[in-house]
Structure 1
């Protein structure tokens, strides 16, 4: 039996070369997706004829995985472009050279200069320079997908209170000369978002710190970004609010925070199966979201779920999922962008693996201004520890902007 050649041998080279143009990634993915569609169609045709082939099915899975990996590389490149545009300046720009120099002297040798006082934190330690703080934030955008699609509010206080207009203003019809009695007035609700503290405590030898060739700022940014991004990403999706953000899944109807927002809970649409989804169920998510939110809406799911969704076809045999075709644009499902969110659950009984909506309007990330660094040369001699903290909160601020698909309970 003839099998399609799997055109993914060059994938490692494409992803490993940091200088590869995003257009080359898109072109490579386009070829791979065409091979996937052809192999998948052959698999479906063979199944209809009662000639299902395990080898053919495995090939479809391999090509589908390659399509997903290429799309992930394209998404990462797109996010870097977006992060640079949001920062407003290049990564090497220094906004406060004197403070940066003083911070670096403190960082490497523990020196305290006069210029360092402007970054002193009342809770201990010193705030990282503006350009270094931006470096960490950019890396979080690259790794934590929620930061690239949600709204972010910077605060300088211990918490943030969100107000809600619950409306309720009365009105009525009257004749030209009839009295106009007073009508009811609107009511307001509120919700407090309290940031939790996320930390990392990497250590370095004094010899490393004395080496002028070591880029200390980049080193620490690289050390903390993985832990910060991992913890943030999980919390924004499924956090329970205990010393961390409340994840958006916790605001679904029937979940722990269903009654936390004055506007109500996130709507949930049921799926008929435990490990599969249909086009109609995806359409229910789209059309269950008010039209005013769909401009800017997107699908959110993890890679495993996306691999299953990628195989869905419409009545005319066309794939519902389409890869990126232009630099800066994500892949699309039913004409809406798709954001791969690794912390979304897999398809299983009673899980919520797919969400749809306008996350910029639905979810708010609250950042306490500044990344705080406390230099500790005493606790772990001969190493110097850098206790690095950032306070982050998160909550659903408009539950109507998001809808969630819940799989059947399997009973």
Structure 2
């Protein structure tokens, strides 16, 4: 009798990972309830219970990472099946010329296309533009992997700098009677915000044997190789970048206690010490939520790293309900007090004077600018027998609305 081979689809793997995550969170709640019960009766928790809770907490994080990875993989269509541009002769010609360049180093086809388009993007200028579908796929992948990019506003520009005006003070207004004289009002004062783009690069390598293999989808290969490198660098810069040869992160902005908030600085709520208070720690989070104006709260998210999320995961409200809740379905985020939680490992840990938690409407608060075009320069000489592909994109970022983001600072 011929044995039947059982195969599991990606959907089955995702569903299994989601079930594992849900079971891990139920075990976490049981262990934490036991710990809290021990504290109430003995004023301290048992060491064995604490160790068990730590193990379950680690398993919960591992299950969440596996679920996120599988969900992201499932959402990626193969580039070869992308129909966009398939019927456009110009895009088809560009794609064919680009593949020839990547596989063999022959750039004649790309040069002819750039001469025809009067483009400045020639080899001496730093490489050749990838086909449009590859650029779209790289940016789409970055939106799924880079946590801040996924929740911020993104604008594609054609130049090296994006500028926008904002009103420092509005025009004078007032109430008048139907027939009363209308005094002239003052004009609004405007200022300019600038978002320059900086160069980000990755350099994947391939053997000539791989490049000669006609079965290999080069578009997919390039997108996969640069995805992680770009996402890691972007993720760090959008949070902590100093604006020198990189985007300016929101934590690099000047901060001020929220009661003294002014434009150009991010307001913070003080936690009262170097960690959450032992009694009613959730009150601090509640104060952070309501420091944000109502118009921003409806689309707001929490941003924190895994360690901070692990600490907050133990908090309960006055009714004994956990404030942190796992995602209710595939592709959804965990929530804290009903707001999505974005896990960003570049956020600081809980420590004295650290702004370990951010809360706000990042669509309105933080702007990412991408300069159109991703370039690839083939280098078959520097690392023989490998061919290097120096891949660059230009990206910038910065806070665009200082009222839309609030921080939780662990200070008195």
User: Per the shorter chain, which TM-score range?
Assistant: 0.7 to 0.9
SS of alignment partner, residue 93 of structure 1:
coil
Q: Deviations over 1:146-201 (max 9, x none)?
A: 11111110011011002112342112344444432211111211111101101122
Q: Would you say the 8 A contact 2:254–2:264 is kept in 1?
A: no
Given the superposition, is the C-alpha separation of residues 200 and 176 from structure 1 closer, same or farther in structure 2, using an over 3 Å criterion?
closer
In structure 2, what is the equivalent of residue 210 of structure 1? 212
- 8 Å CA contact 1:126–1:374 kept in 2: the answer is yes
| 1:13 corresponds to | none
Equivalent position of 1:356 in the other structure: 359
Out of 293, 306, 311, the position equivalent to 2:309 is 306
Looking at structure 2, the residues matched to 208 and 75 of structure 1 have their Cα atoms a distance apart, in angstroms, of 29
User: Are 1:106 and 2:108 counterparts?
Assistant: no
Q: Is the 8 A contact 1:99 1:116 kept in 2?
A: no
* Aligned-residue offset at 1:302: 0.4
Q: Partners in 2 of 1:21 and 1:340 — Cα distance?
A: 22
Question: Cα gap change, 1:117/1:363 in structure 2, threshold over 3 Å: closer, same or farther?
Answer: farther
Name the structure 2 match of 1:276.
276
Corresponding residue for residue 8 of structure 1: none
The residue aligned with 1:92 is 82
CA distance in 2, matches of 1:75, 1:368: 28
**2:365/2:404 contact within 8 Å kept:** yes
Matching of residue 53 in structure 1 with residue 46 in structure 2:
yes
- Listed as ranges, the gaps of 5+ residues in structure 1 are 1-15
Q: Deviations over 1:59-108 (max 9, x none)?
A: 11111222223333444455567777xx9x99633523222111000111
The alpha-carbon deviation at position 113 of structure 1 amounts to 4.3
Instruction: Say whether 1:63 aligns with 2:53.
Output: no
Q: Which moved more, 1:393-402 or 1:131-140?
A: 131-140
Partner of 2:408: 405
- In structure 2, the partner of 1:42 is 34
1:376 shift after superposition: 2.3
1:236 is aligned to 238
- Preserved CA contact (<8 Å) 1:71 1:324: no
Contact 1:204 1:384 in 2 (8 A): yes
Instruction: Supply the distance in 2 between the matched residues of 1:36 and 1:80 (Cα, whole angstroms).
Output: 27
SS at match of 2:354: coil
Partner of 2:368: 365
Name the CA shift for 1:251/1:227 in 2 (closer, same or farther; >3 Å). same
Q: Secondary structure at the match of 2:164?
A: strand
Spell out, residue by residue over 1:3-50, the C-alpha distance to the aligned partner (whole angstroms, 9 max, x if none). xxxxxxxxxxxxx98443544433332222222111111111122222
Cα distance in 1 between the residues matched to 2:75 and 2:186:
46
Change beyond 3 A, Cα 1:117–1:140: farther
RMSD, aligned α-carbons: 2.7
SS in 1 for 2:12: coil
Q: Which residue does 2:378 correspond to in 1?
A: 375
More moved, 18-27 vs 149-158: 18-27
Contact 2:195 2:396 in 1 (8 A): yes
Post-superposition CA distance 1:210-249 (Å, at most 9, x none): 2323333333333322221111100000000001000011
Report the equivalent of 2:166: 164
Cross-structure match for 1:4? none
Counterparts of residues 4-403 of structure 1 (less than 5 Å): 18-20=10-12, 22-50=14-42, 52-76=45-69, 92-93=82-83, 95=85, 96-114=91-109, 117-118=112-113, 121-122=121-122, 123-253=125-255, 263-276=263-276, 278-403=281-406
1:6 aligned residue? none
Classify 1:360/1:73 alpha carbon distance in 2 versus 1 (closer, same or farther; 3 Å): farther
Residues 112 and 235 (structure 1), Cα distance of their counterparts in 2 relative to 1, 3 Å cut: same
- Which shifted more, 158-167 or 305-314? 158-167
The answer to whether the 8 A contact 1:79-1:141 is kept is no
Look up the SS of the partner of 1:172 in the other structure. coil
In the alignment, structure 2 segments of 5+ residues that lack a partner are 1-7, 86-90
Number of residue pairs aligned between Structure 1 and Structure 2: 387
Is the 8 Å Cα contact of residues 160 and 194 (structure 1) preserved in structure 2? Answer: yes
Cα distance in 2, alignment partners of residues 171 and 65 from structure 1: 57
CA contact (8 A) 1:196 1:392 kept: yes
Secondary structure of the equivalent of 1:269? Answer: strand
Residue 154 of structure 2 contacts residue 369 of structure 2 at CA under 8 Å; is this kept in 1? Answer: yes
The 2-side partners of 1:221 and 1:82 are apart by 14
Return the alpha-carbon distance in structure 2 between the equivalents of residues 299 and 310 of structure 1. Answer: 13
